[in-house]
Amino acid sequence: MKSSLVQIALYAGLSYIANETKCLANPSITTLVDLANCFNKYTVQKDYYNMATYSAAQPNTTQLNSWGNLITSLLYVDNNCTSVVIPPSLEDIYTVSSFYSYCILSEIPVNEMGFYNKGWGLFVVPSSRTGIKRNIHLAMPHPLFDFITPAQAVSIFEMMGARSLLISGRHRRAYNSPTDCLPSTKWTTYYRTDPTHDVNEPFNDANRAIWAWQNVNGGCPTSRCAFIQFHGKSPTTCLYDQIFLSSGLRNSTWYTDDVDRPIKRIQRELKSEDSFRTWNISLPSDSSCALTATNNVFGRLINGVDESNVCNEAATAEVSTGAFVHIEQAHVAAFPDAYAGWKRVLLAAFEPA
């Protein structure tokens, strides 16, 4: 594989070296966290794109369909990562590799600036179904912006035996142009490369493929299934909350009624976790924090909004199941000494897969 990738680079007349060569074939990289941190260096940086380069980095129709199919294929893997066939439209862009007990879908080429050519995302699944302990899909939409590295999401994925992990390959402001999906306000601008607010981000297409796969493979009963996004908040935002949990809904009796929901169980387990006992861990019903993810387009989809309307229609409590969990954190909650606590919390909050 290594030699074939180099040949592709030489054939194209480019000076880059494939990131797969630099990360997956690096003998000093022996942990999944180290591997993800290596790939993180290729994340498309803030302000990199203009209209032309952004358009060139977006998938065409064939590539978009292949991208979703590739994500779906990986979710079916059991003991043979390389059995997944890369569609012809993606074979020079993405590769599937085995890394210890995981299958890694990663982008191959790096451009002359040292960033991903495309930046559609990094996807990881356990290579064997026996490695899946919880039917939880984890995602990190905002690399470099929320956290410098994806170490927290990767560590929790690995420690709890989650079903999948998706990490965006672009800074949320890689293309510093407002999205057409959600209207900006005088306080907030939503950007085209922010996958939580733009339906055309390939990260979003990957999320939708995972959601569709889950729906035809037992659905997502919330006693044992959820889609969890990890975010990091500014130290000056929601100042008194170390962890703020929401499900894409504002303050509502939905958070306080007698119905069992993932977000209530997670809050309860977080509050009972010894290492977090001094923290303020809130829901929208407990806090004035505005980071409720009501404009998160994937959250809207999971919460029952039709895919064609997620840009202009908010979710309602009447149809939201709670399968979408949005976690905003202070930096202290994402430090390595908190990982074991997060593992215990999420294992306790969900039934085994």
> Residue 209: enclosing H or E segment and its boundaries?
helix 202-215
Strand-strand pairing, 225-232 and 135-140: parallel
Contact 112, 16 (CB under 8 A): yes
* Residues 171, 276: Cα–Cα separation, whole Å: 30
Q: Which pLDDT does position 318 carry in this prediction?
A: 96
- Structural domain spans, the chain: 1-132+145-167+196-206, 220-353
Which of 250, 301, 198, 231 is closest to 189 using CA atoms? 198
Spell out where 100-200 has E strands: 102-107, 122-126, 135-140, 164-167
Kind and range of the H or E run holding 213: helix 202-215
Ramachandran sector of residue 72 (left: φ over 0; alpha: ψ -120 to 50; beta: rest): alpha
User: 3-state DSSP call for residue 192?
Assistant: coil
Per-residue model confidence (pLDDT) at position 281: 98
Kindly report, residue by residue over 256-315, the tens digit of the pLDDT.
Answer: 999 999 999 999 999 999 999 999 999 999 999 999 999 999 999 999 999 999 999 999
Mean pLDDT by 10 residues, the chain (353 residues): 34 39 88 96 96 98 98 97 96 96 94 92 98 98 90 97 98 96 90 97 98 98 98 94 98 97 98 96 97 97 98 97 98 96 98 97
The pLDDT value recorded for residue 77 is 98
For residue 45, count other CB atoms closer than 10 A to its CB.
16
pLDDT at res. 215: 98
As a residue count, the chain comes to: 353
pLDDT of residue 21: 53
Torsion 327-332-334-336 (CA) sign: negative
Check residue 31 and report its DSSP letter: S
Give backbone dihedrals phi and psi of 73, rounded to 5 degrees, phi first: -60, -40
Is beta strand 324-329 parallel, antiparallel or unpaired with respect to 225-232? parallel
Check: CB of residue 323 under 8 Å from CB of residue 136.
no
The answer to whether 322 and 222 are in contact (CB under 8 A) is yes
Say how far apart CA 337 and CA 340 lie, in whole Å.
Answer: 7
Identity of residue 86 = I
